[in-house]
Amino acid sequence: MRDSRVGARRQCGSPGWQNSPMPRPIEALIHVDALAANLAVARRAAGGARVWAVVKADAYGHDIGHAYAGLKGADGFALLDVAEAVRIRALGWRGPILLLEGCFDPRDLDACARLHLWHTVHHAAQIDWLAAHKTERPHRVFLKLNSGMNRLGFSPQAFRAAWLRLDALVQVEQIILMTHLASAEARDLDSSDAAVALFERATAELPGERSVCNSAATLRFGTRLAASASDWVRPGIMVYGSSPDHPLHSAFDWGLVPAMTLKSELIAVQDVPQGASIGYGATFTAERDMRIGVVACGYADGYPRVAPGGIDRGTPVLVDGVRTRTVGRVSMDMISVDLGPVPDARVGSEAVLWGRAANGALLPIDEIAAAAGTVGYELMCARAQRVRLRSVGMEALDAMTRTLPAQVGSGPGPGAASADEPA
Ligand SMILES: Cc1ncc(COP(=O)(O)O)c(C=O)c1O
């Protein structure tokens, strides 16, 4: 692969070259087998609850079109808005879809009816819109309690009245009770226990299914909640192979595998003498003679500019599957790396910024996020448009689907009979 690229570059003088220029070597691989395997981890942790795969923000930057093959074993897709729902329907999904923030405008209710979307109700105005809506078909709604995050949802005092209003509407067919935990990833689970207790008090004696858990809650207490508060779980970040409570637990601790690899190549190698500096601002000075590789990846590709570069404090990277570190500042299109641990590296060598190397070595996105002072969520979502995507792992996914227990992959996928089947 590497050699053929270099070979192709060498042929630039041939007549056909201008019609087929080689793309810049950076790309993001979407591992559909990893998505399916991580979804299976969520299902096992959910203790029998049904599983929404959360695919907002274009499947956390993985692109819904690429992620769909790996996630279609879910019982439903939870996402942000009608535009994302349209894309999932266009991919052939006929099962449940949930709008996590509900309708942004009364006109969204038409789309909900047409596309059979379940939607969250977190604010009185959304009940007014439903009451005024001339709907062809009754709606399924997730009524949201504010259990302490103070972002979306009815207060515990207002929750019952909101339920009674919804229950009285002919426009509403089913009310599912939900909340979203503010700190399920925290070391101390006391605040989550308090939020769940609040949810249980606010929903006591109200009929209907319940939904509480995101990834962190599903992994950490999904089974415990299954009996009382969990008919549906809503895992997002874990299905993409990032640990929701890193650094408390790593992705490996939870049995999660990276679903995205951001990979590129070395486009230059520099021999840098002791005392010379590297990159903008000369923030890194070589303490010894060094071989430095220049990777075709920068902040304009979505790599965090704030990721530190230094021998002791550098951000991890895999060159030809060998772990090394970034040196100096991240620039718009390039990053420099120490080739000390990889003496054979040369122009064209593989550089994995996160994910899986060709030799099987793994670099969890959480490590890069931690170095940059952020979370895996942000890095995934920040993948730039100019980084092209490629699905891999279809064969492994096919083999996995054949060997998985019946429950996994048995969600109402394309073609499955479902009460939500759009006309
Ligand atoms: C209401 C709701 N449920 C579930 C999720 C998924 O969370 P996570 O990605 O942490 O699993 C989100 C994401 O922010 C959310 O807003």
Q: Which residues have C-beta within 8 Å of that of residue 281, sequence separation ≥ 6?
A: 329
Under DSSP, the state recorded for 249 is S
State the closest ligand 1 atom to the C-alpha of 184, by its place in the atom list counted from 1.
Answer: 10
- From 39, 54, 56, 122, the mutation candidate for ligand 1 (largest count of ligand atoms within 8 A of CB) is 54
Q: How much distance in Å is there from the Cα of 331 to the middle of ligand 1?
A: 32
Q: Whose CA is nearest to atom 13 of ligand 1?
A: 236
Q: Which residue of 60, 120, 150, 234 sits with most ligand 1 atoms within 8 Å of its CB, as the best mutation to test the pocket?
A: 234
Distance from C-alpha of 295 to C-alpha of 273, rounded to nearest angstrom: 20
Report which ligand 1 atom has the smallest distance to the Cα of 185: 10
Residues 288-342 pLDDT 10s: 999 999 999 999 999 999 999 987 789 999 999 999 999 999 999 999 999 999 9
Mutate to test the pocket of ligand 1, among 79, 142, 180 (most ligand atoms within 8 A of CB): 180
Spell out the domains of the chain, with CATH numbers in brackets.
32-240 (3.20.20.10), 260-363 (2.40.37.10)
Ligand 1 atom, smallest distance to 152 CA: 1
Work out which ligand 1 atom sits closest to the CA atom of 244: 10
Contact 303, 330 (CB under 8 A): yes
* DSSP H or E segment with residue 224: helix 215-229
The helix-helix angle for 32-45 and 394-403 (nearest 10°) equals 30
Closest ligand 1 atom to residue 60 Cα is 9
Task: Give me the pLDDT at residue 228, please.
Answer: 57
CA of 235 to the centre of ligand 1 (A): 6
What would the DSSP string read from start to end of 98-156?
A: EETT--SSTTHHHHHHHHT-EEEE-SHHHHHHHHH---SS-EEEEEEE--SS-SSSB-H
Distance 36 CA to ligand 1 centre (A): 18
Q: Give pLDDT tens digits for 379-390.
A: 999 999 999 999
Q: State in Å: Cα 384 to ligand 1 middle.
A: 22
Residue 172 Cα to ligand 1 middle (Å): 24
Distance 234 CA to ligand 1 centre (A): 6
pLDDT at 403: 66
Of all atoms in ligand 1, which is nearest to the CA of residue 218?
11
Residues framing ligand 1 (Cβ under 6 A): 54, 100, 180, 214-215, 234-237, 244
Any residues with CB less than 8 A from the CB of 86 and at least 6 apart, and which?
111, 115
* Catalytic (active-site) positions: 56, 280
The helix (H) or strand (E) run that includes residue 48 is none
Q: Return phi, psi of residue 369, to 5°.
A: -60, -45
- Cβ neighbors of 11 (< 8 A, separation 6 or more) are 17
Whether the predicted model's global pTM rises above the 0.85 cut: yes
pLDDT along the chain (423 residues), means of 10: 40 52 92 97 93 98 97 98 97 97 96 96 98 91 96 97 97 97 90 92 94 94 68 97 96 97 98 96 94 98 95 90 97 97 98 97 97 97 96 86 53 37 39
Residue nearest to atom 5 of ligand 1 (CA): 214
From 307, 305, 304, 293, select the one nearest 264 (Cα to Cα): 293
- In the reported structure, the alpha carbon of residue 74 is separated from the centroid of ligand 1 by a whole-number distance in angstroms of 15
Task: Report yes or no: 394 and 69 within 8 Å, Cβ to Cβ.
Answer: yes
- CA–centroid distance, 73 to ligand 1, in Å, is 19
Nearest CA to ligand 1 atom 6: 236
